[in-house]
Amino acid sequence: MEILPDSRPHYLLPHLLELPKLGAPDIGYITVVELEKDLPFAVVRTFWTYFTPESIVRGRHAHYRTEQVLVALAGRIIVTTERADGTLETFRLESPHVGLYIPPNVWHTMQYSHTAVQLVLASTSYDEQDYIRDYDRFQAIWHTPAR
């Protein structure tokens, strides 16, 4: 039996993750991520983006296999996701202890404040073949036809 992408359990859909935050306003904070405890996958690759002009929209792709967690270490990031069933969601990241889980087969775009620093934790090594960079192709592959 084929499982339609839009019938995935909640934890396989884009959602916010509250990461552990320790500290207080008078001494500052630390966030520690324990891979098997706090993330839904093992991290294989880490990268970050910074000094992105506010007029630039990044992302504009989906992955066949890669899972990601995006964290705004500084500044603000507006992330728009589109699931295979066409559901659009917008997430505002602006706390370094909150991540956004993006599963495979979800189109996503990001727009940043100029001061934003985005940390990305990914489940796979970089592989260009894992990217769906053409939106029409994404729709052709993943969108469930209207019934």
Let me know if 143 is a catalytic residue.
no
In this structure, which amino acid lies at residue 25?
A: P
Is 77 in contact with 112 (CB distance < 8 Å)?
yes
Catalytic residue among 10, 15, 61, 63: 61
Ordered per-residue pLDDT tens for the chain, 147 residues: 333 444 555 558 999 999 999 999 999 999 999 887 899 999 999 999 999 999 999 999 999 999 999 999 999 999 999 998 899 999 999 999 999 999 999 999 999 999 999 999 999 999 999 999 999 999 998 765 554
* pLDDT recorded at residue 144: 59
* Cα–Cα nearest to 49, from 31, 72, 67: 72
* pLDDT recorded at residue 35: 81
Q: Which residue has the tokens 């087969």?
A: 105
* pLDDT recorded at residue 9: 54
Q: Give the CA angle between residues 26, 31, 34 to the nearest 5°.
A: 155
pLDDT tens digits along 106-140: 999 999 999 999 999 999 999 999 999 999 999 99
3-state secondary structure (DSSP) of residue 24: strand
Average pLDDT, rounded, for the chain: 90
Asked if the 13-142 domain carries CATH number 2.60.120.10, the reply is yes
Token digits for 144? 């469930």
